[in-house]
């Protein structure tokens, strides 16, 4: 998973449940359960992962379950993904077999994907309601 010249992933293992907001300067791999918001530069959601909350990231690859919202520059929903969310994105790939229900908003290249409220919540450390 880790490549040369890339930051190491923080891993939330399959036996771990996290409740609350997660803010990280390094990429995150989730194999467990998260009940809360995630702010990070890159996110891998493993096939055993369950996330209920908001995701704000530049790049995300989803194999597992997400319920809530996603704000992402580049998003890939793999064939095992099950996503129920409102999504703001610049680039979206959905593999055959992925399940998606929700709203899609494509953001223009010259606009930020993160809305102002999500960005302020991440900086202040307070919980953001999606």
* Res 114: pLDDT: 73
- pLDDT tens for the 130 residues of the chain, in order: 444 445 688 999 999 999 999 999 999 999 999 999 999 999 999 999 999 999 999 999 999 999 999 999 999 999 999 999 999 999 999 999 999 999 999 998 888 887 655 555 555 554 444 3
- A 10 A CB-CB count for 114 gives 20
For 93, half-sphere exposure in the C-beta direction (CA atoms, 13 angstrom radius) is 11
CB 74 within 8 A of CB 57: no
Nearest to 64 by CA among 41, 73, 55: 55
CB 38 within 8 A of CB 59: no
Cα 31–35–41 angle (5° rounding)? 60
The residue ranges of every structural domain in the chain are 10-106
The residues near 106 (Cβ < 8 Å, ≥ 6 apart) are 89, 90, 92
At residue 122, φ and ψ (nearest 5 deg) are: -65, -40
pTM, to two decimals: 0.83
């Amino acid at each position: 998973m880790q490549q040369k010249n890339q930051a190491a992933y923080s891993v939330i293992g399959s036996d771990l449940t996290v409740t609350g907001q997660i803010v990280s300067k390094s990429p995150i791999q989730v194999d467990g359960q998260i009940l809360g918001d995630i702010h990070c530069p890159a996110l891998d959601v493993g096939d055993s992962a369950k996330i209920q909350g908001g995701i704000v990231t530049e790049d995300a690859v989803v194999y597992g379950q997400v319920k809530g919202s996603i704000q992402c520059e580049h998003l890939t929903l793999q064939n095992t993904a099950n996503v129920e969310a409102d999504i703001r994105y610049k680039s979206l790939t959905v593999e055959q077999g992925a399940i998606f229900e929700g709203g899609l908003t494509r953001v223009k290249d010259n606009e930020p994907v993160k809305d102002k409220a999500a960005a302020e919540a991440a900086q202040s450390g307070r919980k953001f309601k999606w």
